[in-house]
Homo-oligomer: A and B are copies of this chain.
Amino acid sequence: MATDRDSVLLTALGVLSRQPTAAMDEIARAAGISRATLHRLFPGRDALVHEAGALAMRRMSAALDSAALDQGDPVAAVRRLAEAVIPEANFAAFLTGEGRLFEDDTINDAWEAMDARVAALFLRGQNSGAFRVELPAAWLSEAFFDLLAGVGWAVQEGRLAPATATTR
């Protein structure tokens, strides 16, 4: 886990989520390194965005882990989920915006696994009677990530600073 690569990936994430067509040049300058070293760290643009996506996915998964979705009251779990995941909203925005990433099986599977975990939480809440049952849990999960990406966009455009939760 070289911290250097990760720090470069984080700034790349920031640049690319604002401008998906940003050139390697701009990414390198934003990261404070030269284009040459950027190519030394990552063999090409594809590898860069791929690893950036993987990092974003790892961060989101870690956020889900920290929320302990399968424990305690479902309502409280959803609240924990929101609090844990909203700080990472920009990652969600990047992932949904960079559609090409879902051509990759690894990332696609990871995303579906996340989706399944959130859907399981909603399903648990529905079974326990805490949530409404009009909508399938899978839709609720989908909608949750849509809203999360929306928060990410909103933060990027500067019309949101300290976003908070309140769900359902």
Contacts and interface: CB of A to CB of B under 8 A. Distances in A.
Interface string A146-168: 11011001100100000000100
Contact of A147 (B19, B102, B143): B143
Copy total for this chain: 2
A96 interface: yes
A96 B166 CA distance: 24
A147 to B, nearest CB: 5
Contact of A153 (B96, B135, B147, B154): B96
Nearest to A146: B150
Interface residues of A, number: 21
A150 B154 contact: no
A13 B157 CA distance: 24
Interface in A110-168: 134-135, 142-143, 145-147, 149-150, 153-154, 157, 166
B135 A166 contact: yes
A32 interface: no
Contact of A142 (B18, B135, B145, B154): B154
A97 interface: yes
